[in-house]
Amino acid sequence: MGSPVDMSTMNQYEVLPEMDAILSVDTTRGNWVINRRGFAISPTVKEGYILKVSSDLLRIMSVVTGQAPVVLPITTQDIIPYGNDIYHLNSIMQPATATDAPVVGVALTAEMAVPGCASGASQVMDIEMAVRFCLEVAKLFGRDACAFYDVEEFGRLVALYGSMKHLQTFSSKR
């Protein structure tokens, strides 16, 4: 599947400077990386760092689904911009290339590798659970009762290892 609009253009319209955090929802079914029907959440990505999975988001996911939370594994390749001939699981983490706000992927998943864009591949119950999760996160985040990442720990990472913002840009060695 290809998109008629490149990812940097999409980010200009979908990622706004006033956003404090982003839940990026996408079908993530055309792979062998995750094999459970429903939805999964990614670790938080902020300014080029892949951070630990938010315990608040894991708790909310468990409350909404009534099941153990599921985590989508992501790699450095998934958080760098498209257009560099590097493998990406899909576009779920691309908003992280266009903002300093924390980004968490909410992946609609399947037990088998199926095309995410295929007609009939999306299960209504899975979509409904993912939407309820996003609404609960938004309500709690708006009341400062949910954190996407540990602010102090992120500050320590940057102090110890420096900025990783270069991962949000195209390499100068393209």
pLDDT value at 69 more than 70: yes
pLDDT value at 163 more than 90: yes
Maximum separation of any 2 CA atoms in the chain, in Å: 48
* 8 vs 164 pLDDT, higher one: 164
pLDDT value, residue 10: 80
Q: Which residue(s) pair with 22 in the sheet?
A: 103
pLDDT value at 4 more than 80: no
- CB 107 within 8 Å of CB 39: yes
Structure-token pair, residue 173 = 């060695």
Q: Where are the domains of the chain?
A: 7-168
* 84 vs 107 pLDDT, higher one: 107
Note the pLDDT tens digit of each residue in 96-154. Answer: 999 999 999 999 998 888 876 777 778 899 999 999 999 999 999 999 999 999 999 99
SS3 19: coil
What band does 73 get if pLDDT is binned at 50, 70 and 90? very high
| Beta-carbon-side half-sphere exposure of residue 43 (alpha carbons within 13 Å) | 14
Q: Which residues, at least 6 apart from 103, have a Cβ–Cβ distance to it below 8 Å?
A: 21, 22, 24, 44, 45, 46, 93, 95, 96
Q: Which residues, at least 6 apart from 6, have a Cβ–Cβ distance to it below 8 Å?
A: 82, 83
The pairing of beta strand 49-50 with beta strand 103-109: unpaired
Note the pLDDT tens digit of each residue in 14-65. Answer: 888 999 999 999 988 878 888 899 999 999 999 999 999 999 999 999 999 9
pLDDT value at 174 more than 60: no
Structure-token pair, residue 86 = 């590097």
